Amino acid sequence: MILLRDIDVYAPEPLGRTDVLLAGGRVVGVAPGITPPGGVEMDVVNGRGLLALPGLIDGHVHIAGAGGEGGPASRTPELRLSQLLEGGITSVIGALGTDGFTRSLEGLLMKAKALRAEGVGCWIYTGAYQVPPPTLLGDVARDLALIEEVIGVGEIAVADHRSSGPTVDELIRLAAHARVGGMLGGKAGIVNLHLGDGERPFEIVREVVRRSELKATQFLPTHVNRSAAVFADAKEYGRDSYVDITASAYPYFPDEEVKPSAAIAQLLAAGVPIGHITMSSDGCGSLPSFDEAGELAKLETGEPASIFREFVDAVRDEGLPIDQAVRVVSTNVADILKLPGKGHIVAGANADLAVLDEDLRLRHVIAGGRWMVRDGEVLRKGSFEA
Ligand SMILES: [Zn+2]
């Protein structure tokens, strides 16, 4: 049992200074002056000067590795647990990405199980960039209905030279299967769309909505801040449906991209409701850097902790209230993807917390009621981390 005393709680609603009691992997009480039950061992933490947020949720990470677009040597490695913990991230959604040919959903699913065994929440998207998508059981609907870890399909690439160029009809069928599979399995059945640099990438979703009974909220388009042109469309599209900002590519392409923290503020200013905005890292995706002659100089990978960095910048530089910033990196992701027990600090929720000091530095991370980071020290490492 852990009792956080007198801590400033963003649930995400600002609750002010109160106590939070964690037991059995759950939040069991949020109230001032909780009297701990006698006879049990209790870890009491003085929360003065600290902020408690629901653990961050990174909705788009290539947990089993990705990349490969620069040949075999550019394949990126699997996610390490510490990469999540250093960003206060306690849940993650895995996706295959460009390579739905030599990488497998079996490998992705097993990596999700590994991350769960290491102590964090993890789900996956079935499918990959391609349409028709690879699946585990022969159909997206069957994967969603029968495999607990599968919460949607994606990332399906549109408006990109690496996309298989799905037609409107193909996307309608795919989204309908995701919807039915989601209904059968009690999942969101979201279609996660990778938006490329092509012209008007949101147009295909609008066309799907015009020509079917599906709603735009069945889709979660990502990389909306990748260029000024795509972002201009996102400001309009986001008024009616969800938009996902990508954090880790910044500042690799600073000439084209909108800084993620600034993108949140600009979407809000354009009239996009806060509940429509999420941010993910695209972690473990490959990030090539080129020298002045345009030659590949080095390959790096996206870091999940970038969502924490942009959360801090959104509060500090953009003046976003903390509770709104928390929604973008945790609560909205949990609500849109229907992740049970995640994204809220409330009795009955999973005991997943990120605790910051007054300067918004990460101090503690608790996942499933267990200490993962304490006083800045990472206490739990992935199975093969030093
Ligand atoms: Zn992508």
pLDDT of residue 37: 80
CA distances from 137 to 105, 107, 143, 202, 270 (A): 10, 14, 6, 29, 42
Q: HSE on the CB side for 82, CA within 13 Å?
A: 11
What does the DSSP assignment read for 139-168?
A: SHHHHHHH-TTEEEEEEEEESSTTS----H
Low-confidence stretches of the chain (pLDDT < 50) are none
How many angstroms is it from 30 CA to the middle of ligand 1?
A: 38
Cβ(313)–Cβ(325) below 8 Å: no
pLDDT of residue 70: 84
Per the residue annotation, which of 143, 282, 313, 352 is the catalytic one? 282
pLDDT of residue 149: 98
pLDDT of residue 97: 93
How many angstroms is it from 2 CA to the middle of ligand 1?
A: 38
How many angstroms is it from 264 CA to the middle of ligand 1?
A: 19
How many angstroms is it from 355 CA to the middle of ligand 1?
A: 30
Q: Respond yes or no: is residue 282 known to be catalytic.
A: yes
How many angstroms is it from 233 CA to the middle of ligand 1?
A: 18
DSSP, collapsed to helix, strand or coil, labels residue 317 as coil
pLDDT of residue 252: 77
- Which are the contacts of 107, defined by CB distance < 8 A and separation ≥ 6? 64
pLDDT of residue 43: 95
Q: HSE on the CB side for 16, CA within 13 Å?
A: 3
Domains, the chain, ordered by start = 2-53+343-378 (2.30.40.10), 55-336 (3.20.20.140)
101's tokens: 């040919």
Q: Which amino acid is at 370?
A: R
Q: What is the CA radius of gyration of the chain?
A: 20
How many angstroms is it from 357 CA to the middle of ligand 1?
A: 33
Cβ(112)–Cβ(124) below 8 Å: yes
